[in-house]
Chains A and B, each alone.
Chain A
Amino acid sequence: NAGVTQTPKFRVLKTGQSMTLLCAQDMNHEYMYWYRQDPGMGLRLIHYSVGEGTTAKGEVPDGYNVSRLKKQNFLLGLESAAPSQTSVYFCASTGGQETQYFGPGTRLLVL
């Protein structure tokens, strides 16, 4: 099993550009999450999904959109990137009240 994978690993955007981050998991997990990690702060939940076709807002959803068209994939979109969205983005999945499995992260720099 590959576990949780994320693409791309690193990206540089100019302010106002858009992009999509892809998360894929092969563990048949129902729950999937997108977090951002900033220096000196804990991971913060952006959006999450409790199953295929469902999404919900987390703690810091503004400026992001998500989609879960297939159970194994969870996409995070930035419609108009801002420098404040410079961060490391982590995707995670879990089957329930148990271990969360994280992806390797995507480093995003917005100039």
Chain B
Amino acid sequence: KNQVEQSPQSLIILEGKNCTLQCNYTVSPFSNLRWYKQDTGRGPVSLTIMTFSENTKSNGRYTATLDADTKQSSLHITASQLSDSASYICVVGAPYNNNDMRFGAGTRLTVKP
């Protein structure tokens, strides 16, 4: 069973609208939680990195939140643009081991004009 579950699997929104993507994880303990954007046919690109003690991190129109008590994170996208169409991947990193990162399957976002 994947230790990082993302929802929804896919989402379609109209340009200019906001949306929120969810990530639930069971990795424990953990040291950091990351969100990546992956355009079709490209490698993932980092959006945000939060340590276990942080509860929010922004990068332009992207805002990630983290609730370590409930083991949930969300990625909020404001005023969506056509270029936001991509897969968004949640990644949870275990402590003491930089190589132990658990990847979610991603949410596929489509922004339509």
Contacts and interface: CB of A to CB of B under 8 A. Distances in A.
Interface in B75-94: 89, 91, 93
Contacts, number: 54
* 10 interchain residue pairs of minimum CB distance: A42-B103, A102-B43, A43-B103, A99-B46, A48-B99, A102-B44, A42-B105, A42-B104, A104-B43, A103-B43
B101 to A, nearest CB: 7
A56 B4 CA distance: 23
B102 interface: yes
Interface in B56-101: 89, 91, 93, 98-99, 101
Interface in A61-93: 90, 92
A45 B101 contact: yes
Q: Interface size bucket, B side?
A: 20 to 34
B2 A42 contact: yes
A33 B103 contact: no
Contacts of A48: 99
A104 B42 contact: yes
B41 interface: yes
Contacts of B49: 98-99
B45 interface: yes
Interface in B9-46: 31-32, 34, 41-46
Contact of B103 (A31, A44, A103): A44
Nearest to A92: B43
A7 interface: no
A92 B103 CA distance: 14
